[in-house]
Amino acid sequence: MKSIWKNDILKPEFELLEGNIKTDVLIIGGGMCGILCAYMLKNAGVSCVLVEADKICSGVTGNTTAKITFQHGLIYNKIADKYGFETAGKYLNSQKTALEKLKELATKTEADLKICNSFVYSVDNRALIEKEVDLLNKLGEKVQFCQNTELPFGIAGAVKMENQASIHPLKLAYSVSKDLKIYEDTKVLGIKPYKAITNKGIITAKKIIVATHFPFINKHGGYFIKMYQHRSYVLALKNAQPLKDMYVDEAKNGLSFRNYNDHLLLGGGGHRTGQKGGNWTELERFAQKYYPKSEETERWATQDCMTLDGIPYIGQYGKSTSDLYVATGFNKWGMTSSMVSAMILSDMVLGKENEYADIYSPSRSVWHPQLLLNTFETAKGLIAPTVPRCTHLGCALKYNKQEHSWDCTCHGSRFDENGKLLNNPAINDKDM
C-alpha cells in the first residue's frame, strides 16, 4: 500500500545525526511544513537544522492528495460566525498569499503544477453553498454558484473558485530539501530549554519549531485535548472519467476528486481515528457504481489533525514557551497551511510582526463544542478496560481491520500489528 506520489521518484538521502551539534533554529519534523519552514529561514540567512525521525515526507505529506487551494470546505462562514467578518478576511488573505507562493515555488521545482478550478459542493443543501458564495463575494473574492459540473452525479450546488492548483507534493518537497541541512532517522525523545535530546545526541538551539504533525510535548499547549485525528482513504483509478478540476464535498465525511495524469484520485471513507468508517470499502462501491470500467492501481490512507474551530494552531507552543513554536491542526488542508506556517514562524523567529499571527495563535480560546467531545473520547479511552494501551497517555487501542493496525481513539496514535509506531503523538513503539 503506497501512494501514487512514491512511484518512480528518487528521494534525496540524508545522514543520521550522531553526536552533539548547535544551531540557531531546530525544526523537528520533515514533512512539507518543516521543509518549507527550513527553506524560508535558510533564504533569510538563518542557520537551521531539520531532523526527521524516519525519512522526510514519509508521513502525511507522502499521502496527501496535494490540492493547493484556499477553498477549505465552507470555512469562511464558519470563521465569520465565530470570529467576525474581519477574521474571515484575514484567513482568506493568508491562505491566498500561501497559494501564490506555492505556485511560484512549484514552477521553479517542476512539481507538475496544474492550474485549475476548485469546487466545494453539496449534495443536498443549496442554501449552504449560496451562503458561502455570498460571503466570499463580500470578502472581495469573485466566486460563482453552479450546479453543472463534471461529477457523475447531481448536486444541489457548488462554490466555484478559479485559479487554484494541484501539484506532485514529493517533487516539490524533495527539490526544496536538497539544499537544506537535514538529518533523517533522528528521533527527538524529549525537549529541555534550548535543547533537544535525540536517539544519538543532543541538539542545542536558540529556537525550536515543532512540525511533527501532532505535537508530542504534552506539558505545554494542551494539544492532546485541543485536537483529534481523522483518517481518510484514497483510490487511484485508471480508465475513470477524467476531471479537469478539483472537487470536495462540504459534508464532513464526503468525497474528494482530482486527476493526476491518467489517474482519478478518489478520496473519502473518513472517520475519527480508532472508530468505524467507510474506509476503502465505501470508495470501492462508489467506483463500481460510477466508474465500472475503472482499474485501481494504488490505494493509501492518510491522517489529519482537526482543531476545535477549524483554524490551524501556528505560533508559540505554549504561553510560557517563548522560544518554542508549533505548527499543527491543518484540518485536511496541509499544503497552503504549511506555507502559512512557514510565513508566520519565519517572521516570529526573525522578530518580525506578522499580520496573520493572531488568528492562528495556539493560545486562542478553547471554548468550542468540539472540546467536550474530545474530552469525552479521552475519558472513555482512559477508563476502557481493554488492552493493548497507547504509549502516549495510556488510552485503549482498537484494532483496525482494514489497515491491520492498532489505533487510539483519544489522540490518533497508531501501531502496526508488531507494535511499531505508525502515527504520533506517541513517540515510542508498543510491546505486543
The 10s digit of each residue's pLDDT in 103-121 is 999 999 999 999 999 999 9
Q: Could you give the 3-state DSSP secondary structure of residue 408?
A: strand
> What span, in angstroms and rounded, lies between the C-alpha atoms of 205 and 193?
9
Enter the C-alpha cell of residue 157: 450546488
Same domain, 8 and 55: yes
Same domain, 222 and 318: yes
Enter the C-alpha cell of residue 327: 505548527
Residue 131 resides in a domain: no
Enter the C-alpha cell of residue 96: 491566498
Residue corresponding to grid cell 467507510: 278
Same domain, 215 and 318: yes
Residue 279 resides in a domain: no
- CA 145, chain centre distance (Å): 28
> What span, in angstroms and rounded, lies between the C-alpha atoms of 129 and 144?
10
Cα Rg of the chain (Å, integer): 21
Same domain, 217 and 174: yes
Alpha helices in 110-211 (DSSP H): 126-138, 169-177
> What span, in angstroms and rounded, lies between the C-alpha atoms of 397 and 386?
8
Q: Give DSSP secondary structure letters for 236-287.
A: EEESSPP-SSEEEESSTT--EEEEETTEEEEEEEEEETTS---HHHHHHHHH
User: 188, 236, 222: which is closest to 52 by C-alpha?
Assistant: 188
The 10s digit of each residue's pLDDT in 4-33 is 999 989 999 999 999 999 999 999 999 999
Residue 49 resides in a domain: yes
Quick one: pLDDT at residue 153?
97
Check whether 1 has a pLDDT greater than 90.
Answer: no
Same domain, 355 and 376: no
Same domain, 11 and 44: yes
Quick one: pLDDT at residue 431?
87
Residue 212 resides in a domain: yes
With a pLDDT cut of 90, the percent of the chain lying above it is: 97
Average pLDDT value for residue range 35-42: 98
CATH, residue 384: 2.102.10.10
> What span, in angstroms and rounded, lies between the C-alpha atoms of 414 and 402?
13
Residue 238 resides in a domain: no
Distances 237 to 7, 257, 278, 382 between C-alpha atoms, Å: 15, 11, 18, 40
Check whether 253 has a pLDDT greater than 90.
Answer: no
Quick one: pLDDT at residue 15?
97
Same domain, 350 and 373: no
Compute the C-alpha angle 335/336/338, nearest 5°: 70
> What span, in angstroms and rounded, lies between the C-alpha atoms of 423 and 407?
9
Same domain, 351 and 380: no
Quick one: pLDDT at residue 264?
98
> What span, in angstroms and rounded, lies between the C-alpha atoms of 377 and 390?
14
The 10s digit of each residue's pLDDT in 151-199 is 999 999 999 999 999 999 999 999 999 999 999 999 999 999 999 999 9
Same domain, 331 and 355: yes
The 10s digit of each residue's pLDDT in 368-391 is 999 999 999 999 999 999 889 999
CATH, residue 177: 3.50.50.60
Quick one: pLDDT at residue 9?
95
Enter the C-alpha cell of residue 253: 465525511
Same domain, 315 and 419: no
Instruction: Give, as one character, the DSSP assignment of residue 419.
Output: -
Check whether 225 has a pLDDT greater than 90.
Answer: yes
The total number of structural domains that make up the chain: 2
Residue 326 resides in a domain: yes
Against a cut of 0.95, is the pTM above it? yes
Residues whose CB falls within 8 Å of the CB of residue 191, separated by 6 or more in sequence, listed in order: 197, 208, 217, 324
Alpha helices in 327-398 (DSSP H): 334-349, 357-360, 369-383
Residue 103 resides in a domain: no
Neighbouring CB atoms inside 10 A of 367's CB total: 9
The 10s digit of each residue's pLDDT in 272-292 is 999 999 999 999 999 999 999
Average pLDDT value for residue range 253-265: 96
pLDDT band at 432 (very low <50, low <70, confident <90, very high): confident
Same domain, 322 and 219: yes
Domain span including residue 412: 369-423
> Average per-residue pLDDT in the chain?
97
Residue 298 resides in a domain: no
The answer to whether the CB of 257 falls within 8 A of the CB of 264 is yes
Residue corresponding to grid cell 524533495: 174
Average pLDDT value for residue range 75-81: 98
Same domain, 317 and 354: yes
pLDDT band at 252 (very low <50, low <70, confident <90, very high): confident
> What span, in angstroms and rounded, lies between the C-alpha atoms of 16 and 27?
15
The 10s digit of each residue's pLDDT in 49-66 is 999 999 999 999 999 999
The 10s digit of each residue's pLDDT in 232-247 is 999 999 999 999 999 9
